[in-house]
């Protein structure tokens, strides 16, 4: 199938560092050629994830020099390799963080492909969606639920999926009391799933706008991140990349409670006090990427429960500004980059 000729405009991490310093630049790159098992996707929209900020600023080590970030991609199939089956030009697909695994290691075999040592990631190991086109192995492309527009769907593809896996890792009991520390793109989607399934949700965040959004979505309470929730928590999820909040969240847990740490990057955790923060069989669990099964489950739940992202759109040409605004906490919900046409 013919690949569009020529070059495209794409963002490139040319010098990892503070986004305000201009290390993320808009450049010309060749339109990528899909491999034998890959789709070429024309990008319509791409969500702005905090992981993109970590890639751009060097919080995550460089895996691909000059990489194009972006892994919450909604687009249409423009071309595909000779080995691809089941897709046709014009199919609407999603491209997410997990790009590939080896499929044969002990982790993949037992259904834990998110732990595969050979896993590769969109917008870190391979160019992502801050561009006109991107590629994805067909086996890792996601068919998207009908009825959701491109902008609304984009944040579901990482913020939503990772929030869902973090919720699973938090082991929230039916009708349980859940605390969410930080309330950005991922947390506000996770909250909607938890509320739809009968949880009482308490939000702890520094942002007054985010607290208002939490209450609008149905949270039982919304307080500053350092305050104590109004009741002990069965489970908590830390979305903010702030290690100093780990003991804060642990102190808010009831006996036997579980804290799930959702971010790929976290600042150092201070020393923990055993009796006040870990005793009574409290647990801390990390979250590492997601499986394709997680993605399928979440997208089905999102369609069933009407999960919707609160979004703020930027033209693709303003991706660096979107990341700077994310860093500064200038919006609630999620930012989404859109391509014209």
| Residue 110 belongs to domain with CATH number | 3.90.180.10
pLDDT for residue 2:
63
pLDDT in tens, 119-141: 999 999 999 999 999 999 999 99
pLDDT(40) > 60:
yes
Asked whether residue 292 is assigned to any structural domain, the reply reads no
| Residues of the chain above pLDDT 70, percent | 99
pLDDT(287) > 90:
yes
Tokens 């069965």 identify what position? 234
Same structural domain, 198 and 68: no
What average pLDDT does the chain have?
95
Same structural domain, 150 and 17: yes
Same structural domain, 259 and 316: no
pLDDT for residue 148:
83
pLDDT in tens, 192-235: 999 999 999 999 999 999 999 999 999 999 999 999 999 999 99
Asked whether residue 1 is assigned to any structural domain, the reply reads no
Answer whether 0.85 is exceeded by the pTM: yes
Q: CB-based burial of residue 268 (10 Å sphere; 0-12 exposed, 13-18 middle, 19+ buried)?
A: exposed
pLDDT for residue 147:
79
pLDDT for residue 229:
98
Report helix, strand or coil for 288: coil
Q: What average pLDDT does this structure show over 236-251? A: 97
| CA pair distance 101, 114, nearest whole angstrom | 8
Same structural domain, 24 and 148: yes
* Number of other CB atoms surrounding residue 217 within 10 Å: 18
| CA pair distance 278, 271, nearest whole angstrom | 11
pLDDT band at 145 (very low <50, low <70, confident <90, very high): confident
Asked whether residue 182 is assigned to any structural domain, the reply reads yes
pLDDT(70) > 90:
yes
pLDDT for residue 340:
80
pLDDT(317) > 60:
yes
Structure tokens at 243: 């290690």
Residues contacting 110, CB < 8 A, separation 6+: none
Same structural domain, 122 and 84: yes
Same structural domain, 72 and 167: no
Asked whether residue 260 is assigned to any structural domain, the reply reads yes
Number of domains in the chain: 2
pLDDT for residue 1:
55
Asked whether residue 132 is assigned to any structural domain, the reply reads yes
pLDDT in tens, 261-276: 998 889 999 999 999 9
pLDDT in tens, 42-60: 999 999 999 999 999 999 9
pLDDT for residue 263:
85
pLDDT for residue 226:
96
DSSP state for residue 131 in the 8-state scheme: B
Q: What is the 3-state secondary structure (H, E, C) of 43-90?
A: EEEEEECHHHHHHHHCCCCCCCCCCCCCCCEEEEEEEECCCCCCCCCC
Task: For residue 195, give its domain range.
Answer: 161-286
């Amino acid at each position: 199938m013919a690949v569009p000729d020529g070059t495209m405009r794409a963002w490139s991490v040319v010098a990892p560092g503070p986004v305000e310093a201009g290390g993320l630049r808009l450049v010309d790159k060749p339109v990528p050629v899909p491999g034998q098992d890959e789709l070429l996707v024309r990008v319509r929209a791409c969500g702005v994830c905090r992981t993109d900020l970590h890639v751009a600023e060097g919080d995550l080590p460089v895996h691909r020099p000059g990489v194009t970030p972006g892994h919450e991609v909604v687009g249409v199939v423009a071309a595909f390799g000779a080995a691809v089956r089941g897709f046709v030009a014009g199919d609407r697909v999603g491209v997410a963080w997990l790009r590939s695994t080896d499929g044969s290691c002990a982790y993949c075999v037992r259904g834990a492909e998110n732990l595969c040592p050979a896993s590769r990631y969109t917008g870190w190991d391979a160019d992502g969606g801050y561009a006109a086109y991107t590629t994805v192995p067909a086996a890792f492309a996601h068919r998207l639920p009908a009825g959701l527009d491109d902008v609304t769907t984009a944040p579901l593809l990482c913020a939503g999926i990772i929030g869902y896996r973090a919720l699973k890792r938090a082991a929230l009991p039916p009708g349980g009391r859940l605390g969410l520390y930080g309330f950005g793109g991922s947390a506000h989607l996770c909250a909607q799933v938890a509320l739809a399934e009968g949880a009482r949700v308490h939000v702890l965040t520094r942002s007054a706008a985010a607290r208002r959004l939490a209450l609008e979505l149905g949270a039982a309470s919304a307080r500053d991140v350092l305050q104590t929730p109004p009741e002990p928590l069965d489970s908590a999820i830390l979305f903010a990349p702030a290690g100093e909040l780990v003991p804060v969240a642990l102190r808010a847990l009831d006996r036997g409670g579980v804290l799930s740490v959702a971010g790929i990057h976290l600042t150092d955790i201070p020393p923990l006090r055993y009796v006040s923060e870990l005793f009574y069989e409290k647990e801390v669990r990390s979250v590492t990427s997601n499986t394709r099964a997680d993605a399928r489950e979440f997208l089905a739940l999102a369609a069933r429960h009407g999960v919707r992202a609160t979004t703020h759109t930027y033209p693709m040409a303003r991706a660096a500004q979107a990341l700077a605004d994310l860093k500064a906490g200038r919006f609630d919900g999620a930012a989404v980059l859109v391509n014209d046409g």
